[in-house]
């Protein structure tokens, strides 16, 4: 009596997952496509957060150069070299978005028009065009065997 096999609709479960994720990706694609920003919304939010953090940093210019800076704040110091794109805090190495230290250095180098230079010092994988090209084709579930 317990040895009877039951068939569960595994295929239909996975198809419903694929359908639901397809809906989510289509909605996100439309949202990103209609946005007026250069980067995807989540990257823009991270950059905005870093902009508010940069206001609390003390900056010292090394050798009078416009490429190297030392920052003090948040109980530590950070060295930023814009020419080599090396940032001491290593946040850029992880997420490839300008950290608060780099943004402060960009503000000192470019003045009030530093907003546009942030995109040049961040990875282009967060750009709207890159996102739209990556998800242009239909994402399908793996075929069942």
pLDDT at 129: 84
pLDDT at 30: 84
> Residue 86 class from Cβ within 10 Å (0-12 exposed, 13-18 middle, 19+ buried)?
middle
Indicate yes or no: pTM above 0.75.
no
pLDDT at 75: 60
pLDDT at 133: 82
Which of 50, 58, 62, 65 minimizes the C-alpha distance to 114? 50
Low-confidence ranges of the chain (pLDDT < 70): 1-8, 54-55, 74-75, 138-145
What residues does 61 pair with on adjacent strands? 69
Own/partner long-range contacts of 40-44 (Cβ < 8 Å, ≥24 apart)? 40/126, 40/127, 40/128, 40/131, 43/97, 43/122, 43/126
Structural tokens at position 91 = 């946040």
Q: What is the pLDDT of residues 72-89, one digit of tens each?
A: 776 677 778 777 777 777
pLDDT at 50: 77
């Amino acid at each position: 009596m317990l040895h009877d096999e039951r068939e569960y609709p595994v295929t239909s479960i996975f198809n419903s997952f694929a359908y639901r994720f397809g809906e989510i990706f289509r909605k996100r694609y439309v949202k990103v496509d209609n946005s007026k920003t250069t980067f995807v919304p989540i990257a823009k939010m991270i950059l905005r957060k870093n902009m508010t953090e940069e206001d609390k940093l003390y900056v010292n210019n090394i050798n009078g150069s416009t490429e190297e800076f030392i920052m003090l704040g948040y109980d530590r110091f950070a060295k930023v070299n814009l020419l080599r794109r090396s940032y001491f805090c290593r946040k850029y190495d992880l997420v490839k978005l300008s950290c608060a230290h780099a943004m402060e250095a960009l503000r000192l180098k470019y003045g009030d028009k530093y907003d546009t230079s942030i995109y040049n010092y961040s990875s282009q994988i967060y750009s709207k065009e890159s996102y739209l090209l990556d998800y242009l084709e239909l994402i399908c579930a793996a075929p069942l065997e």
